[in-house]
Structure 1
């Protein structure tokens, strides 16, 4: 009976209406640090139980896992705490954290504004592991784990002491960690300053994020970007290996999967939320993109 009751409660928590999925800001952790916060993982959920339930957040979170038990859910992916890794939770993702109270590691939270103030040209768009479609964790070798433990202890000490010019120092440490993660995520790549074409794609992606529920055709975005649809499609292929339409559809699918998995909205309601004319059109679109109907995806994701 106890197991059945626990399962029922967990399912109810998991299947909240979208309006009940809260958006967390850094004020959850501290009123004094509106753009940056870090701490040990030990007793994290005892101190911040809100993280255990599905929520969105308006900041980036890095979780350095040294030794822990449990799992972290990010959208439709579950990450087991089976070895050393860094987990990246990006703004707008729906996540929940379930780790043991004796977990060893660090949590780092920061807004885009905090990092972008480091250098005018050092924006988060440069880091491929922070893109919406990138994987959500990076495994660490024993050597990398030891290096991160050392760096994070220095980082954490600086955060706690609040010394003169501490904010500048914290930005510098964060800069080092992000570049190291980029090397681990893409060993063959390197970061370069955005070309005009790359910058145009970044503008396009930001417009998609803002308007994908209302604007689903590349021509609408091309008009906002003051380019032709053909040119937009051309530079998308050059920079991302995807067409402009592919990028729009990928973003719609991500949001659709979140709504299907984390809410108990009907398919009709989800279609309406995403700006489709009717459920039939949405079902056809979703199946074409994922090879599954929305109902099939819901059943599989809830197993």
Structure 2
């Protein structure tokens, strides 16, 4: 089988590249990293238009420009100023036409930001359930940028100020949590019933689709009948419940086929198909290609 490596920009993977881990644009350590700009060395290792899995999560601050990002089943059209928070392990894809002219990154392993009593926002992040786009006002963007600058300046001091950096990151999470709460309250007031159910449903699909493909499972989670759930989802998106579930499974299958060393029968098993033949028929019906043909394409 073709031995493709995942397209990632995780700290461990970058550490294997022959680049400076510390320069005027970035400081990359084993469990934490900050990038004030994406220079040519990093840019050549970023593949736009293809899905990749994040090794660690990250907080992305867009100060100038815009971009289109697909994260699991959600599409974010991000315009500056804005923050994107991505949990570790998610599948992300950046479109070719994205033009992020001024962007900052914070990247960190989960162990780096674990604490005994994490905030709700941090807990969702650690559990792989936080993938949000948060538009910012100018004063809010300035405040977030000051966190980045303080972290950067602290890293210039002698020695590795681990605990100081950790608490600065905690402070940033708490600040973003307040902003996110305001956004959620606004959306709750202005969203229709269909939109609210749809957003909750997509979160459930992102968490469970690789194992659960029965409409009644999602209906039970949302305390609705399968028929009513399907009606609401169709009204909100012009697609059925199974359309969304199948898309989530196909996205995961494509990543595993292209960027893992697993055999097709192992992928079928991981995605909870009864056998390899069933998985191959499903994949071809959804994509027009067999898993093997896609893997070699």
TM-score (norm 2): 0.57
1:73 and 2:58 aligned: no
In structure 1, C-alpha distance between the alignment counterparts of 2:152 and 2:223, rounded to whole Å: 40
Change (3 A) 1:113 1:133: closer
Change (3 A) 1:28 1:272: closer
Change (3 A) 1:90 1:145: same
In structure 2, C-alpha distance between the alignment counterparts of 1:75 and 1:130, rounded to whole Å: 17
C-alpha displacement at 1:150, in angstroms?
2.0
Match 1:148 to one of 129, 134, 144: 144
Higher mean C-alpha displacement, 46-55 vs 129-138: 129-138
Residue in 2 aligned with 1:173? 168
1:56 and 2:49 aligned: no
Residue in 1 aligned with 2:252? 259
Secondary structure of 1:163's counterpart equals coil
1:103 and 2:88 aligned: no
C-alpha displacement at 1:82, in angstroms?
2.3
Checking the alignment, whether the CA contact within 8 Å between 2:35 and 2:104 is kept in structure 1 is yes
Residue in 1 aligned with 2:153? 157
C-alpha displacement at 1:50, in angstroms?
2.5
In structure 1, C-alpha distance between the alignment counterparts of 2:73 and 2:288, rounded to whole Å: 10
In structure 2, C-alpha distance between the alignment counterparts of 1:104 and 1:252, rounded to whole Å: 35
In structure 2, C-alpha distance between the alignment counterparts of 1:60 and 1:135, rounded to whole Å: 9
Instruction: Give the aligned CA root-mean-square deviation in angstroms.
Output: 4.8
Checking the alignment, whether the CA contact within 8 Å between 1:127 and 1:178 is kept in structure 2 is no
C-alpha displacement at 1:173, in angstroms?
0.6
Q: Runs of 5+ in structure 2 lacking a partner?
A: 16-20, 22-27, 186-205, 230-241, 259-263, 290-297
Change (3 A) 1:28 1:173: same
**Once the two structures are superposed, what CA deviation does each residue of 1:65-115 show, in whole Å capped at 9, x if it has no partner?**
000244333334443342211112222222244555x72231000010000
Superposition map of 1:258-297 within 5 A = 258-259=251-252, 273-277=270-274, 295=286
Secondary structure of 1:168's counterpart equals helix
Match 2:117 to one of 100, 121, 136: 121
Checking the alignment, whether the CA contact within 8 Å between 1:72 and 1:80 is kept in structure 2 is yes
Checking the alignment, whether the CA contact within 8 Å between 1:158 and 1:166 is kept in structure 2 is yes
Change (3 A) 1:185 1:254: farther
C-alpha displacement at 1:171, in angstroms?
0.3
Residue in 1 aligned with 2:193? none
C-alpha displacement at 1:139, in angstroms?
1.1
Match 1:26 to one of 11, 21, 29: 11
In structure 1, C-alpha distance between the alignment counterparts of 2:288 and 2:134, rounded to whole Å: 26
Secondary structure of 2:79's counterpart equals coil
Residue in 1 aligned with 2:179? 184
Residue in 2 aligned with 1:4? none
In structure 1, C-alpha distance between the alignment counterparts of 2:133 and 2:126, rounded to whole Å: 10
Residue in 2 aligned with 1:94? 91
TM-score (norm 1): 0.56
Checking the alignment, whether the CA contact within 8 Å between 1:129 and 1:182 is kept in structure 2 is no
In structure 2, C-alpha distance between the alignment counterparts of 1:256 and 1:157, rounded to whole Å: 43
